[in-house]
Each structure stands twice: as structure tokens, then as C-alpha cells.
Amino acid sequence: MSTPGAYRAGAEALAGITLPPLDAGLMLGRDRGAQPYVVRAFGPRPMLVSVLSGFWLARLVTFRAMALGARLVIHPALQPTWTGFAEAATGGRDRTVVLDSAGLAGLAGTPTHPIWYVGVGEERPPGPWQTTLSVIPQLSVGQVRLVLDADLVVASTLTPLEAGLAATALRLHPDHTGHLQSISGEMVAAFGGRSDHYLLLSVTSMEKGLFGPPTRD
């Protein structure tokens, strides 16, 4: 992955990203028919998004959420992993907060400026227009609850064990166990809202400049 900050996207660049407005949702990629696939990432009730992959995909999804106006909140334990992200993605730190002792209860999300919280464990934010992102680099039995409880699950290529756990938790057809092990580098699987899709991420040149080529790490 490229070093955060090697390519900076300022306010003007973010404004130029062709993503749908917040009320339309967050574009994850394109489906088999090359049509944009948009998911609801925020709402009037707290939401949980689980990413079964490493931080490359987590950063990409977070970048797209911030392009919709989201404010990034980071759990203190994860601060080293996300150091430099805000500066690289937005050119500043004004839309990024490291969680303090007051917790999420002291942060209000709105339809135009929701909260995108990168957390640990099974935390779910307490208020409306607040979404938790849980990053699961390697799915284990102890983390299956994060798949069961998620409003949206996004996965890159999984190992046989991970694929079996995910397919069971999501009550997928057995064929999906094999599909989840053969996702190409620029594709993801998305599960939520009673539907499942295998999508091409359609990574832009700006995103490649920020994060490098797609990787499982």
C-alpha cells in the first residue's frame, strides 16, 4: 500500500468525486451489468458495517463515506493504523476525531454530516446517523457476531475457514462458500438488505493514488 499522504485529495478533489448524494447511499462498485451498486450506509438508527478484509478495503470504503459528508471518528486503540489518513484523504484533520472519554454519546450525527466510527469489538453507536465500521482482517469463530449483527457485510477474498463461517452466519447458499474464496483483487462481495452481490470496485485514479492497488492487507 502506498504511504498515506503520498497523494493528497483536497476539498476540491473530494467535491469532484462522482458518488451519489447521501440520501441515495454509498456506491460500493458496479454489478455484473456494469450498473452502480449503491448501499445505505447511514440512517435514522445506528448501523454496523463489517469489512471482512484488511485496511486497504476499509480505507477505500471510509474514503467514499467521507465523500458523502461523513465525519470520521476513530477508536484510540486504532489511531496508529489510521495516522495520516485524514490528511491524505481530505487535506486536513477538521473532519476527523479520536474518540475521548465522553464516547460517541457526545457526538451528534446528522443526515448531511453523519458519524463514521471506526471501532473495535461489537460496539454499536448510540444515536441516529452514526455508523460503526468493524474491520475484520481474519474472520474467526469469536468474530462471527460482527457478521450476524451487521447491516452490511463487505468481503474480499476469504480463506476456506473464513468463507465457511461467513456463509453459515449469513445463511448463504453453499455455492457461496466457493465464490467467497475466488473473488478477484478488484472485486468484493456485499451482503445486506436481503440481497447479495459480487461487485467490481471501480477504483478511481485518485483512490489508487491514495491507497495503491487493491490488496487483502
The pLDDT of residue 3 is above 50: no
Q: What are phi and psi of 132, to 5 degrees?
A: -100, 135
In DSSP terms, 32 is beta-bridged to: none
Low-confidence winner among 14-18, 120-124, 132-136, 149-153 (lowest mean pLDDT): 14-18
Long-range pairs of 206-210 with CB within 8 A, sequence gap ≥ 24: 206/7, 206/9, 206/13, 206/17, 207/60, 207/63, 209/2, 209/6, 209/7, 210/2, 210/4, 210/6, 210/7, 210/9, 210/59, 210/63, 210/88, 210/89
In the block, cell 453453499 appears at: 174
How many CA atoms are closer than 13 Å to the CA of 47, on its beta-carbon side? 21
Q: According to the model, what pLDDT value does residue 191 have?
A: 94
Enumerate domains of the chain plus CATH numbers: 11-211 (3.40.50.300)
Q: What pLDDT, in 10s, does the model give residues 81-119?
A: 888 887 787 776 778 888 876 677 778 899 999 999 998
CB 8 within 8 Å of CB 87 = yes
Q: In whole angstroms, what is the distance from residue 175 CA to residue 181 CA?
A: 11
Residue 188 backbone phi and psi in degrees, to 5: -140, 160
> pLDDT tens across 46-89, in order?
999 999 999 999 999 999 999 889 999 998 888 888 888 877 87
